Amino acid sequence: MTTTTRTIAKFALIMAIIPAAQACGTTRTVAAGAVAAGAAVAENQNATATINAPISEVDRRARAVLSSMGMTVTGADFDNEARQREYDARSGDNVAHIKLEAEGSSTEVSVSYRTGSVNYSESRARDILSRIQSQR
């Protein structure tokens, strides 16, 4: 294929994908609907869910999960009268980022996981989130 033909083919592919993406709704809309249904959702490199427990309980669960994985909390940030908590946990080159936000009697949880500086793993983030959800 010549460069011009490849460019036209790429443009045609993009034009074919746009209506399908619009028909499905935006990623955030789809993610919000799934979270409302109680599912864990991966958006970009984050896995998110709403857990029906106060932020202090979810924070305890998250720290227990990270500890059981051999990860050490290296930085923590508490905002808005501890209604938001955010921290990183590390083990070697592996970094888990946890963000908790109180929403009434529930807590919104967002987890990302990476190895190195740019190698994100959605599946590992979902695994950590699942462990937090099932931790008692």
User: What backbone phi and psi angles, to 5 degrees, belong to 16?
Assistant: -75, -30
| 40 DSSP assignment | -
The pLDDT of residue 15 is 57
Domain count, the chain: 2
42 and 95 housed in the same domain? yes
32 and 71 housed in the same domain? no
Instruction: Give pLDDT tens digits for 53-107.
Output: 999 999 999 999 999 999 999 988 877 677 899 999 999 999 999 999 999 999 9
24 and 55 housed in the same domain? no
Instruction: Give pLDDT tens digits for 96-135.
Output: 999 999 999 999 999 999 998 889 999 999 999 999 999 8
| Domain span including residue 9 | 1-37
43 and 110 housed in the same domain? yes
Spatial CA neighbour of 49 closest among 104, 97, 108, 100? 108
Q: Which CATH number fits the domain that encloses residue 92?
A: 3.30.310.80
